[in-house]
Chain A
Amino acid sequence: MSKAVNSSAPTDNEVVFGILNDSDVILKRLYVAYFPMVLQLIINNNGTTDDAKDVYQDAIIVLYNKVKSGKFELSSKLKTFLYSVCRKLWLKRLTQLSRYGGDIKDFEEYLPVEEEGDMHTERDIQFEKMEGALKLLGEPCKTIIEDFYIHNHSMQDICERFGYTNADNAKTQKYKCLQRLKKLFFQQN
């Protein structure tokens, strides 16, 4: 019943190098190539298109991090890896929602992927806490922190943007903001 997924799919090696080089083109080709496969899996197993998007993006992130951390080995086809991760994630989600009927309709072959799924959630919790802390931080702290630590803007840029009279004032402000962020982060359970 499974329809062949049309592919201008990048080769598996292209994907690995593409991720390492932060290639937008490869990421897009990868995403477009395998999304239908995952969509098919999810919507035919009690899921919506939004569920498919969430699960697929989570799986792409798992792959991305694995490749970036140098831990990714092409032991199976990339397609099979993605399908297996999505399958695992979706099973987990279904069980959480008590929607799992004990039978999943498969469209591809898959591998057991215990490890990736668990690692993924552990990190997710940290990120969720960070997101929550940043939200609570409020402006202008949030932007200052994001600009400096995430977007790697210089203190000079930040000074100009927020209209601080000198860099020291800005640094003091940034320090206060960071301290509050840490506090907020560790306050969360």
Chain B
Amino acid sequence: MSDHQLTELIERYINGEMNADERECFEAMRRENAAVESRIEEHAQFIGLLKQYGKRVELENRLNAIHQEIDVHSLAEELTVHPNWVVKLWRNHHSKISVAASIALFAVVATLYLTGSFNKSTSSYVALRREMQSIKRTAENAERSNKAILHDIKSNKRVINNGSFAGSGFALTANGYIVTNYHVVKNADSIYVQNSAGDAYHTKVVYTEPAYDIAVLKIDDASFTQFSNLPYNFRRSKSDVGEDLYTVGFPTDSLVLGRGYLSSANGRNGDTVAYQVSLPVNPGNSGGPVLDSKGNIIGVISGKQSEAEGAAYAIKSRYLFRVAKEITKDSTDNKIVLNNKSSLNGLTQAQQFNKIRNYIFMVKVYN
């Protein structure tokens, strides 16, 4: 019997296509011949696998057909757990964000370092006295001093060289009292004042009030006699936020006018001694007067905020009254009465400036 015939018999046997005689004959052969037996088994197994495979393929086709009908895409959209936008942003861009953050951090640290913010002694408050760049001119100045002395003798007029520091000051009374900041004249050996007309006088400190940052100087110079009556007066009452103000002082070697307004009733960190004013001030403005539009002195420039634009501070004028009283109390001969009559009211800015210019002084400090 050929293999082909045997295979056909096996198939017919398995499929139950044999009649009773054939079956009996085949089963007898199966019992006798172990090779036939194993062939039957092997064939049945292989065909079984083939049929199972067929069923699997069919099932897979059915499942695929069902799957085709499902809108997987929108379902996926709906079922995806979306992290919130911060997490997404971080996941998508974390390298970029990290780099940006590093650069920003570096920039901040570098800026702070370069601007000296790590230096504790530097405060955001800047006192506005001017440091004179006189070192390289020292020799020249010495020579000029000699000439000046000679000149002095001849003309009885003083010519002074630059001091170590300079601030501004203004006449408190007609008889030679001058107000400036305490920080301008602190540790001074000698102090000169000079107005924009060039009149220079030697002064001495007669009163200091470090708490208010006020110092009062008295001209003790032979060439000085008396100012004519002060054009401005001193305001005793409080000034209102929003009032127009101006200041005059010596941030440079010539008198400079700066205009602005009162921006806060209190000074730095709520300091009630001072106003906050929005005025352009620079080193050298310290000690200059702050006037309102009617020519009332309402304060004395004392400093500014270094990290904020347009925030300067002025000591309120009512402390000047207090100072005047203190000086009067301490010294028997000096009766200080502050002017209460302004001759500036109604004048234009330019006219006011011209009237007061000779009462504003550059305070030169030598130490």
Flag whether B190 is at the interface (Cβ < 8 A): no
Return chain B residues, CB-CB under 8 Å to A31.
63, 66-67
Are A149 and B59 closer than 8 Å at their CB atoms? Answer: no
Q: Is the interface of B mostly helix, strand, loop or mixed?
A: helix
Are A57 and B79 closer than 8 Å at their CB atoms? Answer: no
Flag whether B81 is at the interface (Cβ < 8 A): yes
Chain A contacts to B: CB under 8 angstroms: 1, 3, 24, 27-28, 31-32, 35-36, 39-40, 43-44, 49, 52-53, 57, 60-61, 64, 105, 123, 126-127, 130-131, 145-146, 149-151, 171-172, 175, 178, 181-182, 185
* CA A105 to CA B64, docked complex, whole Å: 27
Are B54 and A146 closer than 8 Å at their CB atoms? Answer: yes
Within 8 Å by CB of A127, from B7, B56, B73, B76, lies B56
* CA A131 to CA B46, docked complex, whole Å: 13
Return chain B residues, CB-CB under 8 Å to A39.
72, 75-76, 79
Return chain B residues, CB-CB under 8 Å to A130.
49-50, 53
Q: A27-B62, A146-B54 are in contact. List 13 more A-B contacts (CB 8 A).
A: A3-B78, A32-B66, A39-B75, A43-B79, A44-B80, A44-B81, A127-B53, A149-B47, A149-B54, A150-B50, A171-B8, A172-B4, A175-B4
For the complex of A and B, the 7 pairs showing the least CB-CB separation, nearest first, are: A150-B54, A40-B79, A130-B53, A31-B66, A49-B72, A57-B63, A175-B4
Flag whether B60 is at the interface (Cβ < 8 A): yes
Q: Is the interface of A mostly helix, strand, loop or mixed?
A: helix
Are A24 and B62 closer than 8 Å at their CB atoms? Answer: yes
Flag whether B70 is at the interface (Cβ < 8 A): yes
Most chain B Cβ neighbours within 10 Å, of A60, A150, A151, A182:
A150
Return chain B residues, CB-CB under 8 Å to A105.
81
Flag whether B91 is at the interface (Cβ < 8 A): no
Return chain A residues, CB-CB under 8 Å to B52.
123, 127
Chain B contacts to A: CB under 8 angstroms: 4, 7-8, 46-47, 49-60, 62-64, 66-67, 69-70, 72-73, 75-76, 78-81
* CA A122 to CA B355, docked complex, whole Å: 110
Chain B nearest CB, measured from A43 CB (Å):
5
Chain A residue, CB-CB nearest to B58: A150
Are A60 and B63 closer than 8 Å at their CB atoms? Answer: yes
A-B pairs with beta carbons under 8 Å apart, 11 shown: A27-B66, A35-B67, A39-B76, A44-B79, A44-B80, A49-B72, A57-B60, A57-B63, A130-B53, A149-B50, A181-B50
Return chain B residues, CB-CB under 8 Å to A32.
66, 69-70
Return chain B residues, CB-CB under 8 Å to A52.
72, 76
Are B49 and A126 closer than 8 Å at their CB atoms? Answer: yes
* CA A146 to CA B121, docked complex, whole Å: 95
